Amino acid sequence: MDTLLQLALANLVSPMVLFFVLGVAAGWLKSDLAIPEPISKGLALYLMLAIGFKGGVELEANGLGGTVVAAMALALALSFSMPLLAYALLRAATRLDVPNAAAVAAHYGSVSVVTFVAATGFLGYRAVPYEGYLVAMLALMETPAIVTGLLLARRSKTAGTTKPQAPLFSKELAREVFLSGSVVLLGGSLAIGWITGAKGMAVMAPGIVDPFKAVLAVFLLDMGLLVGRRLQDFRTVGWPVVAFGLYMPLIGATIGLVAAHAIGLSLGGITLVAVLAASASYIVVPAAMRVSLPQANPAIYVPLSLAITFPFNLIAGIPLYHAAAKWIASM
């Protein structure tokens, strides 16, 4: 318990988290502090490029060995299956109808890039090494959950509406999912890092290693502003749904911890897989749901993933998952 408390307190006073808290407070108090949208998008692009490129370099250095293949298989299994568990819990514990429960479930099978990046910053701040190729897991987990969520929505012929259902797959959905900026940049940067390897890292290091934490701090300030201004959205989701946004990450993290330990990942790797399994998408999946499941209410799934699960993971979840990873790694 002392170790967990120390980790939690250390995380709370890290610059990155404190900038996030500053943003939440400023947004809640309706300050005019704002980061221009072009700069915000530029920060997000930088972070995805940096984490993808570094992951590709690590993937090239490690090769496609048994652990790497197992990690990729685990990513797909988690992303396809986690929405099934989330959907069952939502239907049992809340009053959400089929399309809304399916839409929320899809978010909790996909991942939050920002939470993953924050977790790498947490580990880097404490000099805890991890397998760089885990960014490939991040890329793989972006989309399978969307398919599962849509299949769950189609389990009802009408899915709560008298309107004809949109086809499960469409050009619009494919474009939103596979050509979304985060998927393209993460996958492309990963590929470039893999192709160029250590020589590429020597060229890119001055731009993507030293400035990384400072850029992350500014980006988390912006995310905090967004969360602070959406705190009022809690009223639209109901307390049983809010509770789901807090306990579902714990369930996902537990599954991720056990699975990552089973395939032989390091302490840092186990922590990151737990973070991936605990996080919820608020970029790619909302875009896909708007296209293919328009009867689902964004006022439910957006604040749930962005204003509840994301802050919980960032402030309390990451140190908790790391402490649990230390325990399970010692077994």
Torsion of CA 267, 268, 271, 272, to 10 degrees: -150
Q: 52 lies in a domain?
A: yes
Decide if pLDDT at 250 tops 80. Answer: yes
pLDDT of 139 reads 78
% of the chain at pLDDT higher than 70: 86
* pLDDT band with cut points at 50, 70 and 90 for residue 274: very high
Q: 25 lies in a domain?
A: no
pTM of the model: 0.78
* Residue 231, token pair as written in the block: 């705190």
* Residue 150, token pair as written in the block: 């849509």
Report the Cα–Cα distance between both ends of the chain, in Å, rounded: 17
Residue from 144, 112, 179, 139 nearest 52 by CA: 139
Please tell me which residue, 129 or 236, carries the higher pLDDT value.
129
pLDDT of 5 reads 59
Please tell me which residue, 117 or 322, carries the higher pLDDT value.
322
pLDDT tens digits for range 123-174: 988 889 998 888 888 878 877 888 888 888 876 544 444 455 555 556 766 6
Q: What is the 3-state secondary structure (H, E, C) of the chain?
A: CHHHHHHHHHHHCCHHHHHHHHHHHHHHCCCCCCCCHHHHHHHHHHHHHHHHHHHHHHHHHHCCCHHHHHHHHHHHHHHHHHHHHHHHHHHHHCCCCHHHHHHHHHHCCCCCHHHHHHHHHHHHHCCCCCCCCHHHHHHHCCCHHHHHHHHHHCCCCCCCCCCCCCCCCCHHHHHHHHCCHHHHHHHHHHHHHHHHHHHHHHHHHHHHCCCHHHHHHHHHHHHHHHHHCCHHHHHHHCHHHHHHHHHHHHHHHHHHHHHHHHCCCCHHHHHHHHHHHHCCCCCHHHHHHHHHCCCCCHHHHHHHHHHHHHHHHHHHHHHHHHHHHHHHHCC
* pLDDT band with cut points at 50, 70 and 90 for residue 7: low
pLDDT of 162 reads 45
pLDDT of 313 reads 93
pLDDT average, residue stretch 262-279: 95
Q: 245 lies in a domain?
A: yes
Q: How far apart are CA 149 and CA 324, in angstroms?
A: 29
Q: 28 lies in a domain?
A: no
Residue from 296, 325, 322 nearest 107 by CA: 296
pLDDT average, residue stretch 258-262: 96
Give the CATH number for residue 134.
1.20.1530.20
CB 153 within 8 A of CB 98: yes
* pLDDT band with cut points at 50, 70 and 90 for residue 2: very low
Sequence-distant (≥ 6) Cβ neighbours of residue 82 within 8 angstroms: 105, 108, 109, 145, 252, 255, 277
pLDDT tens digits for range 168-192: 556 766 666 666 666 678 778 888 9
Q: How many domains does the chain have?
A: 1
Q: How far apart are CA 293 and CA 285, in angstroms?
A: 11
Domain hosting 241: range is 2-20+33-329
- CA angle in degrees (0–180, nearest 5) for 196-198-201: 80
pLDDT tens digits for range 87-127: 999 999 998 899 999 999 999 999 988 899 889 988 988 88
CB 107 within 8 A of CB 279: no
